[in-house]
């Protein structure tokens, strides 16, 4: 049965409620982005997604690296296939295993607009376009 709550929204709220927001802390986006994959699984968004998770062939990774390839650090968290012979591990409180990614399938980039929104949005669009082009080259 699907969960009624969204983990991503809860952790996003927790980043601001009663605390000072640290604009340049890269770990914030990683923590928030990680919850996207939990919500996709918990809300049963896709049968194929759930089957891949349950079979153990796909994992989430917050490092932004693709195993055996040049570092493509542009997403806060990625979801994809494990390298051959590797296993993921499940952290307490999570359903999606974590581990290295050989072939990315979904990337999550979290941007919190704190100042100068237009230049931030332009940079994010440029970064995502560049990341998409590099992923296309990696997956060929």
Q: pLDDT at position 119, please?
A: 77
115 is a domain residue: yes
Whole-model pTM: value is 0.77
Q: How far is CA 105 from CA 8, 34, 55, 124, 132, in A?
A: 19, 14, 16, 19, 11
14 is a domain residue: yes
Q: pLDDT at position 92, please?
A: 94
Q: pLDDT at position 48, please?
A: 94
Question: With a cut of 70, which residues of the chain have pLDDT below it?
Answer: 1-3, 23-24, 26, 64, 68-75, 114-115, 137-140
Q: pLDDT at position 2, please?
A: 61
54 is a domain residue: yes
- Chain centre to alpha carbon of residue 27: 12
Number of domains in the chain: 1
Q: pLDDT at position 74, please?
A: 58
1 is a domain residue: no
3-state secondary structure of 47: helix
76 is a domain residue: yes
First to last CA, the chain: 38
Q: pLDDT at position 21, please?
A: 74
DSSP state of 95: S
84 is a domain residue: yes
User: What range does the domain containing 81 cover?
Assistant: 7-138
2 is a domain residue: no
- DSSP string over 118-135: HHHHHHHHHHHHHHHHHH
72 is a domain residue: yes
Q: For residues 100 and 61, is the Cβ–Cβ distance under 8 A?
A: yes
């Amino acid at each position: 049965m699907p969960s009624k709550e969204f983990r991503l929204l809860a952790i996003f709220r927790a980043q601001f409620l009663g605390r000072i927001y640290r604009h340049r802390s890269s770990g914030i986006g990683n923590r928030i982005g990680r919850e996207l994959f939990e919500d996709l699984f918990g809300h049963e968004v896709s049968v194929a997604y759930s089957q891949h998770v349950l079979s153990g062939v796909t994992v989430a990774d917050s490092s932004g690296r693709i195993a055996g390839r040049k570092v493509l650090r542009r997403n806060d968290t990625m979801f994809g296939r494990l390298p051959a012979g590797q296993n993921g591990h499940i952290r307490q409180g999570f359903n999606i295993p974590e581990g290295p990614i050989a072939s990315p399938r979904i990337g999550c980039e979290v941007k919190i607009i704190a100042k100068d929104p237009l230049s931030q949005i332009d940079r994010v669009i440029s970064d995502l376009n560049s990341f998409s082009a590099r992923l296309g080259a990696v997956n060929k």
